[in-house]
Amino acid sequence: MSIASKRRETEVFSLAFLDCICCGFGAVILVFILTVSQKSDVDKADVDAAREKLRSAQRSVSLTQAELDRLAKVLAAAQLELQDINAKSTQDQLKLSDRRRELLLMLQQTGAMKDALHTLLGEKKALPTEDIAPPVPIPNPDRRQYLTGVKLHGEFVVFLVRTSGSMLDDTIESASARLGDSDEKKREAPKWQRVVQSLEWMLATLEPGTHFQILLFGEETTPVIPTRGDEWFSTKDRKTMTDVVTNLHKLVPKGGANLERAFTAIRFLPRLPDSIVLLTDGLPTRSDSVPVEGDVDEATRIRFFEIATKQLPPRIPVSTILFPMLTGDPGAPGLYWELANATRGALVSPAKSWPDT
C-alpha cells in the first residue's frame, strides 16, 4: 500500500462535512440575529408604555398636588372664620353678662321704686283731702254712659247748639205758646234744660287733651263766649269752663234756625275741627241761599237742610243729638241719620226723661 493511500484513509473530515458544519453554524448565527432584533423591538415598546405610564402618573400627581393646595387654602380660611366666630362668641358672652348685670340692676331699681311708690301712696292717704267740685258737674253720674254713641274724633271738637224758639217745647204749638213767657221761664223750659244738661255732660266727659268750641245757631251763629270766638277751650281751664257754663245758662231760645250759616261758620274757624257735634230738634227753618219769609213747609226745610250740608268741610264726622219735635218734622231723623252715615258720625236721641231717671 502506498503512502498516498494511507493518508486518504486516515482523513476523518471531508469537504462535505465542513460545508454542513458551516451551514449549521451560519443558521445558528442567523437565528441569533433575528432573535436579538425582535427582542430589541419588544423592549422598546415596553419602554414607551412605561414612559407613558410615568407621564400619566406625573400628571395625576400634579392634579393631586393642586387639589391639596386648594384644600389647604380652604382649611386655612375655615380656621380663620372659626377664630372670628370664637372671638364673636366671646364678645357676645361678655355683652350677655353685661346685660344680665344691667337687668339685675334694673330689677333692683324697680323694687326700690315700688317701695318708694308704696310709701308715697301711704303718705298721700294720710294727707287731708278737700272736695273740689268739677268745673262742669255731670248730670246724674249714674247714667254717664247714656250718650256713648256720640263719636268725638280727634283733639278739636265743635259743638253746634240750636237756640231757636222750637227748643222751648216738644211740639210746634207748645213752643209757640211759650214764646210769650218771660226770659226766666224760657230758660227753665224742660226741653231746653235737657239740651243744656246734655251739653254739660259732654263737656264734663271730654278727654283731658281735647279742645272745644261752642257755636250757638239761631238766626245768626255766635260763639258761646262772643269775645273768644277764634279760640279753642280746654277743660283744664277752670275759669273758662265756668264762663262757658254761666253763658249757657243765660241763653234764651228764640227765632228761627239757620243751619247753613252755622256750617259755613265752621269753615272759617282758625283751625278746622276733627269732629262736629250738633244739638238740634229738627230741620232748619232759615237759609241764606233761599230766603223765605214767614213759616216754611217741610219740603222747604228739607231743601234748607240739603243746602246747609253742602257747606260742611269735607271728611269731618258729624254726630247729631236730636231732641225731636213730635209734630212738624217727621223726616228729620232720617236725614240726620243719612248725615251721620255719610260723615261716619252718629245719631243719638236722648229719652225725654234723661237725665233725671
**Is the same domain home to 229 and 99?**
no
Q: Element (H or E) spanning 212, and its range?
A: strand 211-217
Phi then psi for residue 64, to 5 deg, are: -65, -40
pLDDT value at position 314?
Answer: 92
**Is the same domain home to 153 and 60?**
no
**Is the same domain home to 250 and 324?**
yes
**Is the same domain home to 250 and 117?**
no
Instruction: Express each pLDDT in 13-29 by its tens digit.
Output: 566 767 777 787 787 78
pLDDT value at position 150?
Answer: 67
Lowest-pLDDT choice from 142-146, 229-233, 294-298, 328-332 = 142-146
**Is the same domain home to 333 and 245?**
yes
Instruction: Identify whether 313 is preceded by a cis peptide bond (ω within 30 of 0).
Output: no
**Is the same domain home to 298 and 211?**
yes
**Is the same domain home to 190 and 322?**
yes
Query: How does DSSP assign 150-190, residue by residue?
Result: S---SSEEEEEEE-SGGGGSSSHHHHHHHTTS-HHHHHT-H
pLDDT value at position 186?
Answer: 95
Is residue 286 a part of any domain in this protein? yes
Residues 16 and 26: their CA atoms lie apart, in Å, by 15
pLDDT value at position 38?
Answer: 59
Tell me the pLDDT band of 143, cut-offs 50, 70 and 90: very low
Is residue 18 a part of any domain in this protein? no
- What's the CATH code of the domain at 218? 3.40.50.410
Mean pLDDT taken over the chain: 83
Whether pLDDT at 68 is above 90:
no
Is residue 223 a part of any domain in this protein? yes
Lowest-pLDDT choice from 104-118, 156-170, 195-209 = 104-118
**Is the same domain home to 101 and 167?**
no
Is residue 30 a part of any domain in this protein? no
Question: Is the CB of residue 321 less than 8 Å from the CB of residue 355?
Answer: no
Q: Among 73, 99, 127, which residue terminates a domain?
A: 127
Q: What is the domain extent for residue 66?
A: 46-127
pLDDT value at position 263?
Answer: 96
Long-range contacts: 32-37, Cβ < 8 Å, 24+? none
**Is the same domain home to 186 and 279?**
yes
Is residue 15 a part of any domain in this protein? no
Domains of the chain: total: 2
**Is the same domain home to 191 and 288?**
yes
Is residue 287 a part of any domain in this protein? yes
